[in-house]
Amino acid sequence: MTPDDRSPSEQDELDELSGLSRRSFLKGAGGGVVAGALAGGLAQPSTSEGVVPQEASAPGASTVSLSGRHQIALQVNGEQVLVDVEPQTTLLGALRHHVSPPMTGTKEVCDRGSCGACTVIVDGRPVYSCMQLADDMPGHAIRTIEGIGTPDDLSPVQEEFCRFDGLMCGFCTPGFIVASTACLEKHGAPDVDTIKRELSGNVCRCGTQTHIIRAVQAAGESGVLKGER
Amino acid sequence: MTSARNRPEWGSNDTHALLNSDIPRVDGPEKVTGRAIYTHDIRLPQMVYARLVVCPYPRAKIKSQSYRKARKVPGVVHGAPFKEVGDSIAFQGADGVVGAIVAETPEAAAAGLCGVKIDYEVLEPVVTPEDALAPGAPVVGRRGNVTGLSSSGDRAEVEAALSECAAVVRGTFRVPVQHHVSLETHGVVVDYRGGNEATVYFSTQGVTGSNREFASHLDLPSENVRVVAHNVGGGFGAKFGGGIEGRIACELALELRRPVHLMLTREDEFLMAGNRSGSEQRVIAGASRDGVFKALAVEADRHGGVGRGALPTPPYIYSVGNTYSEIRSVHTATDSSRAMRAPGHPQASFAMESVLDELAYGINMDPVEFRKKNLADPVYHRQLDRVAKEIGWLEHPHRTQPGVPENALAVGIGFGVAIWGSRSRDITVVDVRIGPDGSVLAATGVQDIGQGARTLVAAIVAEELGLAAHEVSTDIGDSRLPPSVASGGSVTTGSLGPSVKDGAFNARVELAKRIAPMLDAEPEEIRFADHRVFVEGDSGRSVSWKQACASLGKDPLQVSGRFQPHLRDQGIHGAQAAKVEVDLLTGRVTVLKMVSIQDQGLPLNRMAIRSQMNGGMIQALSFALFEERVLDKKTGLMLSGNLENYKIAGCGEMPELVAIIDDEDTREAVMGMAEASNIPGHSAIGNAIYNACGLRLREMPFTPARVLQAKGGMS
């Protein structure tokens, strides 16, 4: 069935169903409208499945309407990545499900901005990738766990996590590593209170928090600053 | 230990080359770089994503339902109900799974879910024990709303003993339902594309044998189904069987002949993935003037939803002259409780440690001394003394009566003890292979759920062969590997460790036999240490590890290890202390410091044990101050069903934690310890609040509202 087969009312209903609740929640506006300032960064999306982006009808309002699958270009760990997304696709969803090959280091735990497992660095700041729409991300520099060290070449904070056992099951760990990296880049050698504050948006259930705090402190004290290794 | 004996021995705990030290996790680098693949992360060609349609009400009837619009959403490949119009939902959780949507992408599955229209007739929810016990309440279970009543002891004798006590305390202790909150939700990826074979990726605490369950769902021979769990994002007792989500994923895969990815959402996880049962314990306890715990009467209800719930029979740990108890399950129409880290014990600990404290203060006795007086086992005495010293009890200004705060902030200290069986099972087989290139591989079906099983396997083999832990490769988390134990009840270390040691021992003995002629020595004289193989007492006659392995020729050396009962023991203790600050203006409780001491025989990996102790303390802190499942009494809707409403302790709440390994336990045997470390922490926090300011909180969590309520009641 193509969109043309449907009656207008049915199409409206389906547009509603296409998961716009998250958009409404994030933007305070329904109807698949992205505010112009945010859409400004959109790299000319090509259309892979009957798609739009088009200027909204309201004169002067710099907005675009999106529906269906379309391609955007993300800048991830210094490389341009073309990815097919839907309007409701989050940055987390794009990384985990739509980038090829998938980047599954960033974890989905709550999918609503309350656990930090999906933390990535956007333009130098840690953000919850589950609370960012993929369509808002072109033009922004995204760093994920995959861009911070490898098993054979760990970053200083990754080394300290291993040394102090700042991980157990490991599911929260990528989010903590990314948030810790952002913390170290911002503060250099942060004190314990600063570390606690900067990592307060990340949740761990196994109970590694005190070891994580020590690991971040040690990484800061080792003097390897500002992330460039 | 590499001395030649005819059977493996751990040797004295202070003579290890690698074990009994801080051993970094061998899978640390994979996990800190996001390279470790969990079930959530499995991506397969043609894979589809399934979402469950879940009734939010505990009890309801389906008046009408339509999946028509859901099926029209682009990308949705399947959408169907499991129940028909007129069918009932009997309880929240598994019975509330009324349908499923399957789609090409997670977004389409979510959109499809929005298209499902169901009208429910909402029935009386029965979510509180009071509702379940009310006259004329709807019957929740098949056998009624009250089951499993058991009693022990003689009530008349307890009452007679109570009449002679110098101090008698009465109290009703309420523990809420707690959730496991594994960060990786429950779920599976079923890779079945038609044909006679399937692979199931499964976030589980028990890999070995789990293929049988999925084979039954898929109607395949069990040997044709392989289950894989290379990394598991936490379990805490809730991840044993495949559950309803496992069955549904298999059914969908059978129908669609495509791999099905079905991981619960966080909301689904809270609704249907189990919990720690709550409890209400009505207690009367008495002690003599000289500090002997004379009498105890407990009437207790387990709140396990449609499940049984868990609570040990009183008295818990302590010796009591006369005890009478009645325990029963009161069923509500809510998700069944499951095992959770020391099932039933934290609940029992809260009531028991609280009344002990009250009795001690009731006779003006130091609660540490009162505990020791009523604990026969001397291990508890040394452990209590140690945590008392470490928390600063001996310098604490008020030890036999609570503090009378002069300003808004009051500081107090409290205690609790633990117990656990730490048993083991004779099931694990470990294959050890040494390659001519010097590579070593240890393989067994055990799973690493965060406890460090993979590192334990590598380290035991490495020590035996004189290598480093990271030089031993491991193959675990696969049902096709030799069998191992499910990880629950702290059985992993005691069940796995002896088999690994036996396999490593056999590998060393066999390699020694091959090397001995090269070094002109008897096999019994061959030693392994620091990457060298040498003759005891003659370091001149030696070869490097690589040279030794090269002498194997073309074929690797392969041996197996089996369970050796003399290498494990069971039965552990544990004590904890907590220091808190209570703000009497706001009611806020801040935990300043916690101390835990734990015995476990030979501490295989000291760092992993300290991490487990920290985890036990942090989970107890979180349970004490924050965690509580909240259901709306009128509708039964869950009000605490995501992490923003069900708070768990984070970095901001971290106190100073001191984790002490009790090295006075010199048993040359291994056993698990994770459960014990999770038992007494919240009780110690409750007792610390009382010690700080004289407020006895008998209902958890100890929220500001409850502190202020108790304060109001005091004046």
Residue B374 is part of a domain; what is its CATH number?
3.30.365.10
Q: What is the ipTM of this complex?
A: 0.97
pLDDT at site B407? 77
**Residues B257 and B288 grouped into a single domain:** no
B442/B550 same-domain check: yes
Q: In angstroms, what separates the C-alpha of A57 from chain B's closest C-alpha?
A: 26
Could you say which of B223, B238, B263 is where a domain stops? B263
Helix residue ranges per DSSP H, A142-222:
156-163, 173-187, 192-198, 209-221
Q: Is residue B14 part of a domain?
A: no
- Across A48-52, A108-112, A145-149, B593-597, least confident range: A48-52
- Residue B623 sits in the same domain as residue B645: yes
The string of pLDDT tens digits covering residues B498-545 is 999 999 999 999 999 999 999 999 999 999 999 999 999 998 899 999
Instruction: Give the other-Cβ count within 10 Å of B655's Cβ.
Output: 20
Average pLDDT, chain B: 97
Partner A, chain B 369-428, Cβ-Cβ below 8 Å: none
Nearest one of B328, B343, B531 to B421, comparing CA atoms: B343
Per the rule left: phi > 0, alpha: psi between -120 and 50, beta: everything else, B65 is: beta
Instruction: Answer with the one of B539, B567, B595 that is the final residue of a domain.
Output: B567
Minimal CA–CA distance to B584: which of B415, B411, B701?
B411
pLDDT at A9 over 80: no
CA distance B611 to chain A (A): 7
Coil, helix or strand at residue B89: strand
Please indicate if any CB of chain A lies within 8 Å of the CB of B112.
Answer: yes
CATH number at residue B65: 3.90.1170.50
Q: State mean pLDDT over B269-279.
A: 98
B266/A202 CB distance under 8 A: no
pLDDT digits (tens, 9 = 90+) for B400-448: 999 988 778 999 999 999 999 999 999 999 999 999 999 999 999 999 9
**Shortest Cα–Cα distance, A67 to chain B (Å):** 11
Question: If you measure CA to CA, which chain A residue comes closest to B110?
Answer: A19
Question: What is the arithmetic mean of pLDDT over B304-319?
Answer: 97
Structure tokens at A141: 């520099």
Residues 617 to 656 of B: which have CB under 8 A from any A CB?
617-619, 642-644, 648-652, 654
Amino acid B192 reads: Y
**B69–A149: do the CB atoms touch at under 8 Å?**
no
Measured in angstroms, the CA of A79 and the nearest CA of chain B are apart by 18
Indicate the helix (H) or strand (E) that contains A176: helix A173-187
- Is residue B481 included in any domain, yes or no? yes
CA triplet B613, B619, B623: central angle to 5 degrees?
Answer: 145
Is B140 within the bounds of a domain? no
| Residues whose CB falls within 8 Å of the CB of residue A228, separated by 6 or more in sequence, listed in order | none
Considering only CB atoms, A151 lies closest to which of B29, B41, B642, namely: B29
Task: State the Cα–Cα distance between residues B270 and B185, nearest whole angstrom.
Answer: 9
| Whether B641 and B702 share a structural domain | yes
Local structure of residue B522 (DSSP, 8 states):
-
Residues B345 and B411 grouped into a single domain:
yes
**Are B107 and A13 a contacting pair at CB < 8 A?**
no
Task: Measure the CA–CA gap between B318 and B415, rounded to whole angstroms.
Answer: 14
pLDDT in tens, B459-470: 999 999 999 999
B166-185 residues touching A, CB cutoff 8 A: 180-185
Q: For the segment A158-193, what is each residue's pLDDT rounded down to a tens digit?
A: 999 999 999 999 999 999 999 999 999 999 999 999
pLDDT tops 90 at residue B564:
yes
Min Cα separation B235/chain A (Å): 9
Mean pLDDT of B57-67: 98
Report the percentage of chain B scoring pLDDT > 90: 97
Model confidence at B563, pLDDT cuts 50, 70, 90, reads: very high
From first CA to last CA, the distance across chain A in angstroms is: 52
- From chain A, the residues in CB contact with B114 under 8 A are 16-17, 19, 21
Minimum Cα–Cα distance from A68: chain B residue? B74
Chain-centroid distance, C-alpha B712:
37
User: Residue A19 pLDDT > 90, yes or no?
Assistant: no
pLDDT tens figures, B138-197: 999 889 999 999 999 999 999 999 999 999 999 999 999 999 999 999 999 999 999 999
Q: Which of B567, B590, B610 is the last residue of a domain?
A: B567
Asked, for residue B1, whether it belongs to a domain, the answer is no
Q: Same structural domain for residues B557 and B622?
A: no
- The answer to whether residue B16 sits within a structural domain is no
Provide, as residue numbers in chain B, all residues whose Cβ is less than 8 Å from the Cβ of A154. Answer: 29, 32-33
Please report, for chain A, the start and end positions of each structural domain, with discontinuous segments joined by +: 12-52+64-145, 156-221
Banded model confidence at residue A65, pLDDT cuts 50, 70, 90: low
Cβ separation B31–A145 shorter than 8 A: no
Distance from CA of A59 to the nearest CA of B (A): 31
From chain B residues 443-462, the ones with a CB under 8 A of any chain A CB are 449-452
> Is residue B353 in some structural domain?
yes
Predicted confidence at residue A38, as pLDDT, reads 38
Position B645 in a domain: yes
* Tens-digit pLDDT profile for residues B326-347: 999 999 999 999 999 999 999 9
**Which amino acid is located at A76 in the chain?**
V
Residue B380 lies in a domain: yes
Report pLDDT for A63: 61
CA-CA distance, B607 to B612, in Å (whole number)?
A: 9
- Is residue B687 scored above 80 in pLDDT? yes
Beta-carbon separation of B32 and A111 below 8 A: no
Domain covering A12-52+64-145 in this structure, CATH number: 3.10.20.30
pLDDT digits over A90-140, tens only? Answer: 999 999 999 999 999 999 999 999 999 999 999 999 999 999 999 999 999
Q: Are residues B527 and B555 in the same domain?
A: yes
Q: Containing domain of residue B301, as a range?
A: 278-422+570-714
Task: Please name the residue of chain A whose CA is at the shortest distance from the CA of residue B649.
Answer: A203
What's the domain count of chain B? 3
Does residue B244 register a pLDDT over 60?
A: yes
* pLDDT at residue A45 greater than cutoff 80: no
pLDDT band at A37 (very low <50, low <70, confident <90, very high): very low
Within 8 A of A97 by CB-CB distance, chain B residues are 43, 105-106
Pick the CATH number of A156-221 from 2.60.120.380, 3.30.200.20, 1.10.150.120, 3.40.50.1860: 1.10.150.120
B363 & B220 share domain: no
